[in-house]
Structure 1
Amino acid sequence: MTALTAATRLSLSLIAGGAVANIYYNQPLLGLLAQVFGHDASVLVPTATLAGYGLGILGLVPLGDALPRRSLIVGQLLLLAAVLVLAAASASLWVLVLASFLIGVLSTAAQQAVPFAAELAPDATRGRMVGQVMTGLLLGILLARTLSGFVGAWAGWRAVFYGAAGLAVALAGLARLGLPGTAPSTRIRYGALLRSLLDLVREQPVLRRAALAQALLFAAFNAFWTTLALLVEAPPFGLDPAGAGLFGLIGAAGALCAPVAGRFADTRSPRPVLVGGGALTLAAFAVFGLLGGHSLVALAVGVLLIDIGINTALIANQTRVYALAPGARGRINTVFFTAIFAGGALGASAGTRAFAAGGWPALCAVGGAFAAAGLLVPLLEPRDRPRS
């Protein structure tokens, strides 16, 4: 079996972060996009991107069990570069929405990288190894907003997508040269591969609970992040897209807890991590609701809380589900992240609509409700035994 070397971990981390970043580049740009394409752009573009990501996980990620992962990653990244150019050149809202949907579909190269790490890692350190690769993915999610905000403010929103296309080509080269070639874990045909997803859902209660909990937390996460730019660019804050993107730097600190959460889940029960992550996410919305509408400091504190909460819960849930069926990690990842990004699309849509209808208090109520529901799932599930 090919070892998960430090160089391979670094390559997988960069690919995961660079690929997933594409579904978040649009969030600090929503104000600019609304100026060009109308208010509907602020709802349709992020929702289409996240929905595409969820569909891509469902349709493409299972192929990682039946085809060489390296080839899949390279192919998806090259196609992603072409679609990003289409987004950059969009002259109408509907072309941009279509391009955004396809960006979401193809950005699931990130979700080939994470089970690749789980496949190569030894059982005893799988949580920590996955946590390290997930640190790259989570930093990509958070720093994408900062990078996009600065580039959008100084060079316009089209430059963000053109630059992302160039980065996708570079990542394809890294994947080709930096990742090992591996044999597929199964020879199941594509149709049977997809049908087996239902078997996993039916037979694995831990997978069902983990997917539900993380989907609810991610709905809360996206409800906040898809409306943050709209809040801080309006009075009393009056920030530009670069200022909105700076909040990604604060949230990036939360990504650094991923290996710690993975190490804890390797050696002890993941349940305290799950409960703690949900509680921190709920606490973030309490801070947002009480003070965030008029205090940048409160917003910064809430951003730190929500990102630490989401990230620790995610790593603990991944450690649990990747241990369930070693030969089906791509399909387990498909079930898990399809649910998560369906929740994300729901949260993005609900958040922007709540903000439009009732302002920041309505957004905080919606996000807090999602977070509270996500916390209830691990609180109500049967207790697992600590590992010796």
Structure 2
Amino acid sequence: MPPPLWLMALAVGVSVANPFYSQSLLPKIKGAFQLSPGTVLQAPMITQLGMALGFLLVLPLGDVREKRGLLTLLAIGMALACGSVLLAPSFGLLLCSCFALGMVALIPSLMPPYLTAITPEPTHGRMLGIILSGQFSGLLLSRSVSGWVAELWDWRLIYAFSAIVMLAIALLFRTRLPDVAPTSKTSYWRLQRAQINLWYRHPLLRRSCISQGLLFGSFMAIWSAIAIYLSSPPWQFGPAVIGSFGFIGLASITAAPIIGRLVDHLGPDRIVLTGVLCASGGFMLMGIHKQALSALALGLMAVDLGVQGSFIANQARIYSIDSAARSRMSSQLFLTCYLGAAACSTLISLFWSQWGWAGTCMFAITLMGLAIVVERPTWQPRTHE
């Protein structure tokens, strides 16, 4: 019998936090290696690039390999990568370690198709809501935890703690998860070619990937930029205060199971479009009232809620397309998300000195406009014949 969903959500949350600890640590890393603001933003960018390549090259193995063993190996890999970040003596080696950490940060994207295979189809939305609440808990609260640790002790200490926890999660996966047979027996290279065929055969998959990539790219860019923004005048906040902004995401975290049930009852299309509009409103609020902390908090809350809601709905959309290719389609969804995140973070790091906070918000609003265009088929409700 598999562990309860709350325990799997906890494991996903702890796993997804590892690549994102650095976001609230950027001011500390900047000081430790004597870097400029634009240069230190390379750390989240290279991590997201590593994640994108992991989704492209490693995640499709979930369809042709036994998933329990693959999840266990990924947990061990994350423990080793966290240890590498802990011991990195230079910024160049830190970037290499961040890249490796991103490459193996695949547990949050492999767990949903794994659990989809062992849960009844009418409850997939609820299950995804619970698991993704754990994912977004780790994603958002990672900033708070790492900020506090950096403020009280040292910014590297969080990676020592995480390495130990990931080894415990590897043991949990190995001893408690049931085996799930592979859904395909094709070779690895045929599997990669099949990904291209999936992309061309299913317009719904393309639409889900592109709209979520635009949403997630803007989401990650704004969370990287806010650490630099709040550590500069007039704020000049420390890591603990910057990290505490992660608690803003508690609203979207608690809403995830409700969103999952709405996906089951209303269908995913409406939830995706609503998520895009919600995130757009959040970016507008932060750009217009950039000197008000309350506006920043409310804007981030709206963005978190919109991105999480659309993520739940988009996963439900693609998992309904082909049950034998869920890991490959999950690979494409997460690949476009983190390619979008890496591209947006790169642009922010290159143009931060010219754009600043207001320009970053305007950039995110532009991406939301593109996402609304991509979701044009959902503008009108479907007619039932």
Contact between 1:269 and 1:384, CA under 8 Å: does it hold in 2? no
The 1:363–1:323 alpha-carbon spacing in structure 2 relative to 1, beyond 3 Å, is same
Contact between 1:12 and 1:117, CA under 8 Å: does it hold in 2? no
CA distance in 2, matches of 1:41, 1:19: 26
Amino acid corresponding to residue 307 of structure 1 in structure 2: D
The 1:354–1:254 alpha-carbon spacing in structure 2 relative to 1, beyond 3 Å, is farther
Q: Which residue of the partner structure matches residue 350 of structure 1? A: 347
The 1:387–1:219 alpha-carbon spacing in structure 2 relative to 1, beyond 3 Å, is farther
Q: Quote the offset at 1:66 in angstroms.
A: 0.9
Q: Deviations over 1:303-337 (max 9, x none)?
A: 11000010111111111100000011100101111
Q: Which residue of the partner structure matches residue 35 of structure 1? A: 31
Stretch moving more, 156-165 or 347-356: 347-356
TM-score by length of 1: 0.94
Contact between 1:269 and 1:386, CA under 8 Å: does it hold in 2? no
Q: Quote the offset at 1:201 in angstroms.
A: 0.1
Q: Quote the offset at 1:386 in angstroms.
A: 7.3
Q: Quote the offset at 1:252 in angstroms.
A: 2.6
CA distance in 1, matches of 2:230, 2:272: 30
Contact between 1:15 and 1:113, CA under 8 Å: does it hold in 2? no
Alignment of 1:169-184 (within 5 A): 169-184=167-182
* Percent of aligned positions that are identical: 29
Query: Tell me, which stretches of 5 or more residues in structure 1 are unaligned?
Result: none
Partner residue of 1:339 out of 329, 336, 345 = 336
Q: Which residue of the partner structure matches residue 96 of structure 1? A: 94
Partner residue of 1:199 out of 186, 197, 220 = 197
Q: Quote the offset at 1:198 in angstroms.
A: 0.4
Partner residue of 2:295 out of 285, 288, 298 = 298
Q: Quote the offset at 1:283 in angstroms.
A: 0.7
Contact between 1:65 and 1:329, CA under 8 Å: does it hold in 2? yes
CA distance in 2, matches of 1:9, 1:384: 33
Amino acid corresponding to residue 18 of structure 2 in structure 1: N
Q: Which residue of the partner structure matches residue 11 of structure 1? A: 7
RMSD, matched Cα: 1.7
Q: Which residue of the partner structure matches residue 362 of structure 1? A: 359
Q: Which residue of the partner structure matches residue 45 of structure 2? A: 47
Contact between 1:220 and 1:370, CA under 8 Å: does it hold in 2? yes
CA distance in 2, matches of 1:146, 1:300: 14
Q: Quote the offset at 1:84 in angstroms.
A: 1.1
Query: Tell me, which stretches of 5 or more residues in structure 2 are unaligned?
Result: none
Contact between 1:218 and 1:347, CA under 8 Å: does it hold in 2? no
Partner residue of 1:325 out of 322, 327, 343 = 322
Q: Which residue of the partner structure matches residue 20 of structure 2? A: 24
CA distance in 1, matches of 2:252, 2:353: 29
Stretch moving more, 353-362 or 82-91: 353-362
CA distance in 2, matches of 1:34, 1:317: 36
Q: Which residue of the partner structure matches residue 209 of structure 2? A: 211
Contact between 2:273 and 2:378, CA under 8 Å: does it hold in 1? no
Q: Which residue of the partner structure matches residue 310 of structure 1? A: 307
Q: Deviations over 1:144-188 (max 9, x none)?
A: 111111111111211121122112112112212231122111111
CA distance in 1, matches of 2:256, 2:156: 33
Contact between 1:34 and 1:42, CA under 8 Å: does it hold in 2? yes
CA distance in 2, matches of 1:244, 1:387: 49
Give yes or no for the alignment of 1:250 onto 2:244. no
Give yes or no for the alignment of 1:275 onto 2:281. no
Contact between 2:17 and 2:139, CA under 8 Å: does it hold in 1? yes
Q: Which residue of the partner structure matches residue 120 of structure 2? A: 122
